[in-house]
């Protein structure tokens, strides 16, 4: 994941805005590696800057129930973001 993250950030630095597929790949890799903070940073970026999250984004984040349990109950600065997102969650955009 470290190499993928370097390429991802190099894309951004060179002016190539990542699309939702790029974000989904990074989120999935971080989720599988149990890198909760990194996963939430990417998820937060999507909501702050775009692109619009799609069904795959949400499916990736909800594939692993223990991931969500750890995320919601961990002592993380992202806890408040998750609570707010869950309270105001709308229907994801379908591709």
Per-residue pLDDT reduced to its tens digit, 16-58: 989 999 999 999 998 888 787 888 888 888 888 888 888 888 8
Note the pTM of the prediction, 2 decimals: 0.68
pLDDT of residue 92: 57
Return the SS3 of 56: helix
Question: How do residues 45-91 score in pLDDT, each as one tens digit?
Answer: 888 888 888 888 888 877 766 666 666 666 566 666 666 666 666 55
Q: Locate all alpha helices (DSSP H) within 1-95, ordered by sequence.
A: 2-13, 20-32, 36-49, 55-62, 65-73, 79-87
Judge whether residue 15 has pLDDT over 80: yes
Q: What is the pLDDT of residue 59?
A: 83
């Amino acid at each position: 994941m470290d190499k993928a993250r370097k390429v991802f950030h190099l894309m951004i630095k060179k002016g190539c805005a990542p699309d939702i597929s790029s974000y989904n790949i990074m989120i999935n890799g971080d989720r599988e590696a149990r890198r909760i903070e990194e996963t939430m940073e990417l998820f937060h970026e999507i909501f702050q800057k775009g692109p619009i999250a799609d069904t795959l984004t949400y499916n990736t984040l909800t594939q692993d129930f223990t991931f969500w349990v750890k995320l919601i109950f961990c002592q993380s600065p992202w806890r408040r973001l998750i609570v707010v997102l869950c309270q105001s969650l709308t229907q994801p955009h379908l591709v």
